[in-house]
Amino acid sequence: MLVEHEVQGKMKVEPEGKMKVEPEVQRKMLVEPEVHGKMLVEPEVQGKMRVEPKVQRKMLVEPEVHGKMLVETGVQGKMLVGPEVQGKMLGKMKVEPEVQKKMFVDP
C-alpha cells in the first residue's frame, strides 16, 4: 500500500494485523493493482465500506469476489466485469439504457 506520509501517522495497526483508519484518511489510501487482488475484507466490514465513484471505476475485482459486492445502482453500470461474470450479473441487474452503453467488458 502507498500511504501519504502525513496520513501514515494517523493509522493504527492492532497486534493481530487489523488496521483502524479514520474515515477521512481511508479515502486517501491508494492500493497498488497487484496488491488489490489479494485484499480480503470481512463480510461484516464489507457492507460498511464506501468508495468514491471516481475511485470505484478504477477498482478491479476478481470474478469470484465480484458476485459478493454490493454496489449502488448508479455506479454499477460503470464497473469492469469479465464476460463469465457479466452473464450472471445481468440476470440480477436492472440497467438503465444510457448506463448500459457505458459498460466495459474485459476481452
Q: How many domains does the chain have?
A: 2
Q: Residue 94 is part of which domain span?
A: 38-105
**Same domain, residue pair 60 and 16:** no
Same domain, 72 and 22: no
Co-location of 24 and 45 in the same domain: no
What tens digit of pLDDT does each residue of 48-95 get? 555 555 555 555 555 555 555 555 555 544 455 555 555 555 545 555
pTM comes to 0.13
48 lies in the same domain as 16:
no
What one-letter code names the amino acid at 45?
V
Q: 22 and 47 in one domain?
A: no
On whether the CB atoms of residues 43 and 65 are closer than 8 A, the answer is no
Q: What are the b/e assignments for 52-89, b being 16+ CB within 10 Å?
A: eeeeeeeeebeeeebeeeeeeeeebbebbbeeebbeee
